[in-house]
Amino acid sequence: MALLKCADKTLDLSRTQVMGVLNLTPDSFSDGGSLYAGQSVNLDKLLCSAEQMVNDGAAILDLGGESTRPDAQPVSVEQEMHRVLPALECLHDRLDVVLSVDTSSAVLMKEAAGLGAGLINDVRALESEGALDAAAATGLPVCLMHMQGSPLTMQLAPKYDNVRQEVAAYLQLRAQQCQLKGMAAEQIILDPGFGFGKTLQQNLSLLAAIKELSSLGYPLLIGTSRKSMYGQLLGRDVSDRLAGSLASVAYAAMHGAAIVRVHDVKESVDTVKVIAAIKGQDNE
């Protein structure tokens, strides 16, 4: 059994777990700031959405205060903390679920750990100033994601000689850097970074390589929910990408993904359960 220690909670990663996305930004590509009221997150709306995700089967909730959609403008650390910390405190006091903080900020990592965060999820793989030391100091598990460029530039002209090999090499190097800082290998998760500096074909190539990426020896987080790849592949608007998202959730779960990061929790949990049942039959 592969166990991930997340502060005072433990996740069993021998089966695929579902992470629900809670965007604490007014400019999210997927929900357009639906949790906002004026200049701040509406904590009542947040709690309602979070409770629904937990009731639908989410094992992790991922809180993000900085939009990382293509062309997204950076926000100050103060603004990011203003969005995330009250939300984290609100949910930690009320819900029995692992709370993940989606951030690259060293300061926010430390503050979040003190308020009960159980996982650090960083799209910049702890490359920002002070992030690697800060994450190591928290003792929390980390998710390291691959991104080519930055949110402002990543989709301008993504280029790889071999996307599978280059993403794998980068993630393996970042995992090694974490271990040199004293992090345990079993506390490191890898994310190929779908849509973060990748074309449609590069995304599909990475998705097809899940089993290959798993051979690096770390649990994989797969985040393909509502991505623009479905707009390109299927001609669907962001509000009409559930079928495409669930197809990739099913493929990821079938091929060993430890965590799937999704917006549509109920449907994704059902999909993962069906795949688990099929795999169980295969083992009989």
Question: How do residues 133-182 score in pLDDT, each as one tens digit?
Answer: 999 999 999 999 999 977 766 677 788 999 999 999 999 999 999 999 99
Backbone angles phi, psi at 145, to 5 degrees: -110, 150
pLDDT, tens only, 73-123: 778 999 999 999 999 999 998 999 999 999 999 999 999 999 999 999 999
The pLDDT value given to residue 74: 78
Domain definitions of the chain by residue range: 17-277
Query: Contact 256/214 with Cβ under 8 angstroms?
Result: yes
- Write out 198-263 in H/E/C secondary structure: CCHHHHHHHHHCHHHHHCCCCCEEECCCCCHHHHHHHCCCHHHCHHHHHHHHHHHHHCCCCEEEEC
Which residues form the catalytic set? Answer: 227, 261
User: Taking the mean position of all CA atoms in its chain, how far away is CA 61?
Assistant: 9
Structure tokens at 186: 């079993």
pTM for this one?
0.93
CA 11 to chain CA mean position, Å: 15
Q: Report d(CA 185, CA 73) in Å as an integer.
A: 33
Q: What is the pLDDT of residues 204-248, one digit of tens each?
A: 999 999 999 999 999 999 999 999 999 999 999 999 999 999 999
CATH 3.30.365.10 fits 17-277, yes or no: no
